[in-house]
C-alpha cells in the first residue's frame, strides 16, 4: 500500500470514528443519551430551533390552552434576540434546553468548540435571562461527534423516539396528525419544531404543526396521556428502572400479597379501585383506644381492619416523584373511598357489630383530616415487629425505598389510625 493510500485510509478511519461511531452508539443503542422514557401516562413534547417571534407565542398559547408542559431546545443566537420569549417560556413552567448557539452540525466542529462556543455560550445566555442555567442538550439533527459524550458530560443529552418530520410544509396537517397519533405512546419523546428558518426547513411549516398539535393534545387528554417536560419524564422513568434483585423481590412480595388476601379473606371496598381492603376481626390491643368522638375500642371489640393493597401502592410509588407526593395521592384516593366504607359498615350485616375502622400504618400524615384519630403503638415486642415489617414493606413497594429508609427515620414510625362507625356516618353519609 502506498503512502498516499495509507494516508487516505487513516483519514477515512478518523472520519468514521469521529462521526459514524457516535451516531451508531447514540442513535441505535442509545448509549449516553435519553430518547424514550418508561413513565406511565406521560409524554414529553420537545420543540427545536426556536424561539421564533411568529410561531413560539402561538405555541405557548396552545400549550396553555391544553394545560400542557414542554421542553424547548433553543438556539443561543435566537435567545439573544428574543429574550422576552425565553423569559415567557421559563415563567410559564416549561423547560429550556440547549440546541447550540447556531444550527451547525457537531460533525463539522472541533469538540472544544461545541462545548465552549455552542453549548456553554448558549447556557450562559439563557441563565442571564432566566436566572437558571440549562443542563439538557440536544445537538442539531441529533448528531454528536466522538468527543461530545465526554466534553458535554455536564449536560444530559436528549434525542427522541417520535419524529413526524414536521419541518416540511408538504406534509400538511392531516398527515402530520396521523403520524403523531400513531407514534405518541407512554414515555415517548416527540420531536417538533417551532421555527422553520433552519437549513432544509420550510418557513411556514410550524403553522401546520400547530394546527395538528391542537387536535393531538385533545386526543392525548382523552387517552389519559399527560404532556410533561423532559426532566419530569426522565425523573419518573428513573424511578421505574428497578434492578434485577428489586424486581425479583417485588414479584415475590406480590405473590405473598395474593396469598395473604386469600388466607385472611380480605375484601376490596371498591372492585374498580382496590386500594383499600377490609376484614372483620377482634381488637387485640391490651390498652383501649379512646376516639375523638368519645367512642372506646377495647380488647375483644370487633373492628373493620384496613389493609392497603400493596400492588396499588407499588404502582402509585412508581408514578410519584417523592414520598410526600405518594402520601398525598393515598390520602386523595382514600378520601374518595370513605363514603363507600361508611355505607358498607352501616348497611352490610357482616359489619353490624363493628365499632369502627382500624389500621396500623406508617403513612398516617393527613389521616386526621379524614376524621381518624392517630395513636402511638404501645411499646413492646409487637410494636418492634410491626415497625420492622412495615419498614421492609416500604423498601419493597417504593422505588426509592432503600434511600427513604435512611432519611427522616424518626418519621417512619407506625401508628394506629381509627375512626368510629358513628363518626363515619356523620362525615360521609348525607
Burial of 407 (0-12, 13-18, 19+ CB in 10 A): exposed
Burial of 9 (0-12, 13-18, 19+ CB in 10 A): exposed
66: left (phi over 0), alpha (psi -120 to 50) or beta: alpha
Active-site positions read 48, 193
Q: Which of 161, 182, 163, 175 is nearest to 208 (CA)?
A: 175
Residue 139, SS3?
A: coil
Please state, in angstroms and as integers, the Cα–Cα distance from residue 405 to each residue in 39, 53, 104, 139, 391, following that order: 24, 49, 48, 39, 7
Q: Which of 305, 266, 260 is nearest to 283 (CA)?
A: 305
265: left (phi over 0), alpha (psi -120 to 50) or beta: left
Amino acid at each position: 500500500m502506498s503512502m498516499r493510500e495509507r494516508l487516505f485510509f487513516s483519514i477515512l478511519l478518523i472520519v468514521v470514528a469521529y462521526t459514524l461511531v457516535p451516531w451508531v452508539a447514540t442513535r441505535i443503542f442509545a448509549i449516553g443519551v435519553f430518547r424514550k422514557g418508561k413513565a406511565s401516562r406521560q409524554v414529553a413534547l420537545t420543540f427545536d430551533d426556536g424561539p421564533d417571534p411568529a410561531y413560539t407565542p402561538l405555541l405557548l398559547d396552545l400549550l396553555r390552552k391544553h394545560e400542557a408542559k414542554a421542553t424547548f431546545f433553543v438556539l443561543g443566537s435566537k435567545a439573544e434576540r428574543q429574550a422576552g420569549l425565553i423569559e415567557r417560556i421559563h415563567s410559564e413552567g416549561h423547560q429550556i434546553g440547549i440546541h447550540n448557539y447556531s444550527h451547525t452540525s457537531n460533525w463539522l466542529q472541533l469538540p472544544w468548540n461545541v462545548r465552549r462556543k455552542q453549548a456553554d455560550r448558549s447556557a450562559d445566555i439563557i441563565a442571564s435571562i432566566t436566572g437558571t442555567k440549562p443542563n439538557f442538550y440536544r445537538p442539531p439533527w441529533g448528531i454528536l461527534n466522538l468527543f461530545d459524550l465526554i466534553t458535554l458530560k455536564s449536560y444530559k443529552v436528549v434525542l427522541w423516539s417520535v419524529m413526524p418530520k414536521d419541518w416540511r410544509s408538504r406534509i400538511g396537517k392531516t398527515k402530520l396528525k396521523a403520524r403523531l397519533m400513531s407514534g405518541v405512546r407512554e414515555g415517548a419523546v416527540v420531536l417538533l419544531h417551532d421555527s422553520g428558518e433552519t437549513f432544509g426547513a420550510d418557513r411556514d411549516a410550524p403553522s401546520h404543526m400547530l394546527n395538528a398539535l391542537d387536535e393531538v393534545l385533545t386526543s392525548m387528554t382523552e387517552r389519559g396521556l399527560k404532556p410533561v417536560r423532559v426532566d419530569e419524564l426522565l425523573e419518573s422513568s428513573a424511578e421505574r428502572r428497578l434492578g434485577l434483585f428489586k424486581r425479583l423481590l417485588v414479584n415475590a412480595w406480590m405473590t405473598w400479597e395474593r396469598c395473604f388476601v386469600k388466607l385472611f379473606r380480605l375484601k376490596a371496598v371498591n372492585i374498580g379501585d382496590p386500594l383499600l381492603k377490609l376484614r372483620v376481626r377482634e381488637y387485640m390491643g391490651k390498652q383501649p383506644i379512646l376516639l375523638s368522638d368519645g367512642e372506646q375500642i377495647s380488647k375483644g371489640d370487633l373492628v373493620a381492619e384496613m389493609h392497603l393493597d400493596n400492588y396499588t401502592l407499588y404502582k402509585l410509588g412508581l408514578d410519584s416523584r417523592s414520598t410526600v407526593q405518594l402520601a398525598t395521592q393515598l390520602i386523595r384516593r382514600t378520601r374518595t373511598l370513605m363514603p363507600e366504607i361508611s355505607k358498607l359498615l352501616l348497611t352490610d350485616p357482616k359489619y353490624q357489630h363493628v365499632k369502627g375502622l382500624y389500621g396500623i400504618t406508617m403513612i398516617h400524615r393527613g389521616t386526621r383530616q379524614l376524621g381518624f384519630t392517630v395513636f402511638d403503638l404501645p411499646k413492646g415486642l409487637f410494636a418492634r415487629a410491626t415497625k420492622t415489617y412495615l419498614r421492609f414493606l416500604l423498601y419493597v413497594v417504593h422505588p426509592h425505598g432503600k434511600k427513604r429508609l435512611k432519611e427522616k427515620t424518626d418519621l417512619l414510625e407506625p401508628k394506629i389510625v381509627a375512626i368510629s362507625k358513628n363518626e363515619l356516618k356523620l362525615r360521609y353519609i348525607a
